């Protein structure tokens, strides 16, 4: 075990391969103009700043042969896994499934749905398509983590208060010891990111811990 001076108190990170790096939805749909994030009315460019930080963690987990799981939010091409409520929500001109400049919005396999090139997974790394905000809903994530003997999850990705927080809460309820990397996650709304970090670690770590990428890297070095 390695120990980090995380918030709200020390986090014990196993160094035997039972900790996995979870990279949530670092896909072009959320980080580049012309995708789902922009269709929702957001300035997507501000999310790109966390890419190098996640890259460092990705490399560190690769170097150790530890599990990395990436997710992408997206739907089947016939939208059979997209509830009408999700497609209709909001007042954007481009809805899920509509053709956009990077292919069909939030549809699996379309160019815009792909992970940003800087974080591209290796051929043997796991990428899970997910129809919801939480990565455990309607996916094989729980089975994959159990098959790998994972007990601890290190969370990164976007957006902090939507898919990252939802997944972290799902994981916490399933018994995983969760740590959110403060500078490895971001939101279109800085105040929402700050609030999420506080919510996670409030009440004695009701959802888990937070720490910086540098703290995680130093602990496992
Ligand atoms: N809109 C927004 O902030 N997020 C999402 O729709 N999905 C994810 O967070 N991945």
What's the CA-to-centroid distance between 57 and ligand 1, angstroms? 22
* Residue with CA nearest ligand 1 atom 8: 163
- Of 158, 217, 173, 177, give the one whose Cα is nearest residue 9: 177
Cβ of residue 159 lying under 6 Å from some atom of ligand 1: yes
Q: What is the pLDDT along the chain (221 residues), one digit of tens a residue?
A: 999 999 999 999 999 999 999 999 999 999 999 999 999 999 999 999 999 999 999 999 999 999 999 999 999 999 999 999 999 998 888 999 999 999 999 999 999 999 999 999 999 999 999 999 999 999 999 999 999 999 999 999 999 999 999 999 999 999 999 999 999 999 999 999 999 999 999 999 999 999 999 999 999 99
Q: DSSP for 101-123?
A: BTEETTBTTSGGGSBPGGGPPPT
Total-model pTM: 0.98
Tell me the per-residue pLDDT of 107-120, one tens digit each, with 9 for 90 and over.
999 999 999 999 99
Report d(CA 166, CA 172) in Å as an integer.
10
What's the CA-to-centroid distance between 209 and ligand 1, angstroms? 21
Q: Where are the alpha helices (DSSP H) in 71-209?
A: 84-88, 141-147, 165-173, 190-205
* Residue with CA nearest ligand 1 atom 10: 163
């Amino acid at each position: 075990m390695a120990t980090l001076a995380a918030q709200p108190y020390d986090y014990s990170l196993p160094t035997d391969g039972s900790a996995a790096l979870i990279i949530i939805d670092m896909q072009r749909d959320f980080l580049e103009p012309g995708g789902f994030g922009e269709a929702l009315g957001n300035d997507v460019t501000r999310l790109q700043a966390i890419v190098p930080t996640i890259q460092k963690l990705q490399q560190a987990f690769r170097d150790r042969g530890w599990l990395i799981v990436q997710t992408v939010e997206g739907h089947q091409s016939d939208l059979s896994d997209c509830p009408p409520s999700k497609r209709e929500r909001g007042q954007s001109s481009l809805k899920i499934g509509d053709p956009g400049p990077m292919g069909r919005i939030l549809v699996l396999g379309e160019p815009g749905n792909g992970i940003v090139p800087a974080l591209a997974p290796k051929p043997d790394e796991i990428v899970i398509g997910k129809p919801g905000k939480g990565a455990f809903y309607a996916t094989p994530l729980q089975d994959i983590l159990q098959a790998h003997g994972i007990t601890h999850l290190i969370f990164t990705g976007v957006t902090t208060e939507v898919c990252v927080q939802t997944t972290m809460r799902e994981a916490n309820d399933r018994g995983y010891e969760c740590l959110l990397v403060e500078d490895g996650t971001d939101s279109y709304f800085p105040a929402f990111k700050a609030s999420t970090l506080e919510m996670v670690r409030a009440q004695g770590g009701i959802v888990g811990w937070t720490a910086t990428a540098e703290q995680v890297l130093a602990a496992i070095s």
